[in-house]
Amino acid sequence: MKAPAIQDLTELDAVIELASLARDIARHDRLYHAKDQPEITDAEYDALVARNRALEARFPHLIRSDSPSRRVGAPVAEGFAKSRHGEPMLSLDNVFSPEEFIDFCKRIRRFLGLAETEALAFVGEPKIDGLSINLLYENGAFIKGATRGDGAEGEDVTANLLTIPSLPQHLKQPFPASIEIRGEVFMEKADFINFRATQEEAAEAREARRAAGEKLGDAVVIPANPRNAAAGSLRQLDPRITATRPLKLLAYAMGAASEAPAETHHDFLDELRRWGFAVNPLSRRLQSEDAAESFQAEIGAGRAALAYDIDGVVYKLDRIDWQRRLGFVGRAPRWAVAWKFPAEQAVTKLLDIEIQVGRTGALTPRAVMEPVNVGGVVVRHATLHNEDEIARKDVRIGDTVMLQRAGDVIPQILGVVLEKRSTDAQPYAFPLNCPACGSHAIRDGEDVVRRCTGGLTCPAQTTERLRHFVSRRAMDIEGLGEENIQTLFDAGLIKSPADIFRLHQKREILAGFEGWGERNRTPNSWGGIITAWKPGALP
């Protein structure tokens, strides 16, 4: 549902929504910064933050003490010592268009009292999607390293950082007596794909051992994207594990320092290189803000070919004395901004088209593709919607296709790269029978969807209906996810929703299932519901 226009909100509406946004953004901050398990995309998160900012601008007297605009990141995760930064590690405000960037520059001029004719020199740097870190050097020696955390203090990951080959342990003279260097730990796309494949193999081997009755420890984590892989690798409690991960480090900024090593940010990047840090070679000094739009287009055009994921370009005012005068507002500096890219596209090969059968009998085609990294996520599947969509786009098995994650979330095929089509490629023939039960699949009137006529005799429809019944939007029964429903159905224990409430009669059978021992039974868990239907049947 589209959010109401801010100008139409009453103060009570604003109070309620600001409370909701503070809660939701804090939760997503914890998932992203502390757990490396984001549930929404960067674009969706940015939209929440922008909505909160707009509400606060409209109702400044309602700004909360726990407002997202007043904090950065999330509290330090358990398992690591805390490390306080000498200077706060701020996040960045975002812009998405030339007009918004121009407004950003106007705010700088107003604050500094500059004439419109005075050029603002910037340094543009690709915004790598990794884990921000703070490195403390004293007398040229690396002393300590920490994650961003909540902006004021982060997790002490010094031992893990020492395993990264590109981290200088000693700076080349001359250097300040004390200085904090900010950088990004990341994993390149090719390394991530190889690492993910290794994790998938380990997960399969673990599952085979589990099936054989072996008792195992924690599950193997398969990261969704390079950012999660890098963050999870750096946050290993055992540095020996971090040492096996292909992590890289790029330095890009300065925190607290006993003395300023340069007068401009561009010169500071040169100092970083001289000290032994890797600095992004695509960083460039722009003589005025007028050059930003073309630089943005240049970096965006080459984005897919980069070895690492980026989601935009960071523009920093070059003069450090102006940076100091501008300071920051809320949780972001006034002198820097991230200009974000639109959804990323990629090219890959269509290997097959699978047909999935839903609870209403709808046959939905799904593309199976060679794995490709799109916007930081490895994509193997994409929806093709229906047979008319396949015909309209003339998608054929073996085709090279253009792929995009709609809203950076749902993978979809935009079209076919016809010049790469094989001469023997044949149009796809949509099945006229259900692949699950063999019943006729028909289209009713002008309906674009072909449906299985098997009804409840179709196992695919039955299991999908059971999944819907226990889902959050229906009965919201905890613990009966997709895999458990399939396991119970395959074992012949449930064929209809009513069978779920008879499972207490199958206690001995369930106890024999691997991993199905006694568990905590909250009122809305499936174990709790069974107990409620037959009190005392389960302890």
Characterize 481-512 residue by residue with b for buried, 16 or more Cβ atoms within 10 angstroms of its Cβ, and e for exposed.
eeebbebbbeeebbeeeebbeebbebeeebee
Contact between residue 46 and residue 408 where contact means Cβ atoms under 8 Å apart: no
Report the candidate in 358, 362, 364 with the shortest Cα–Cα distance to residue 381: 364
Here the tokens at position 431 are: 């099945």
Active site residue 127: yes
* 411 prior amide bond cis, ω within 30: no
Residues forming a β-bridge with 146: 134, 156
Here the tokens at position 467 are: 């999944």
Dihedral Cα 8, 11, 14, 18, nearest 10 deg: 160
The three-state DSSP-derived secondary structure of 240-274 is: HHHHCCCCEEEEEEEEEECCCCCCEHHHHHHHHHH
Q: Is 291 exposed, middle or buried (0-12, 13-18, 19+ CB in 10 A)?
A: middle
Characterize 221-255 residue by residue with b for buried, 16 or more Cβ atoms within 10 angstroms of its Cβ, and e for exposed.
ebbebbbbbbbbbbbbeeeeebbebebbbbbbbbb
Active-site hit among 127, 189, 248, 340: 127
Report the candidate in 45, 44, 43 with the shortest Cα–Cα distance to residue 74: 45
Report the candidate in 275, 245, 33 with the shortest Cα–Cα distance to residue 137: 275
Q: Which residues are catalytic?
A: 127
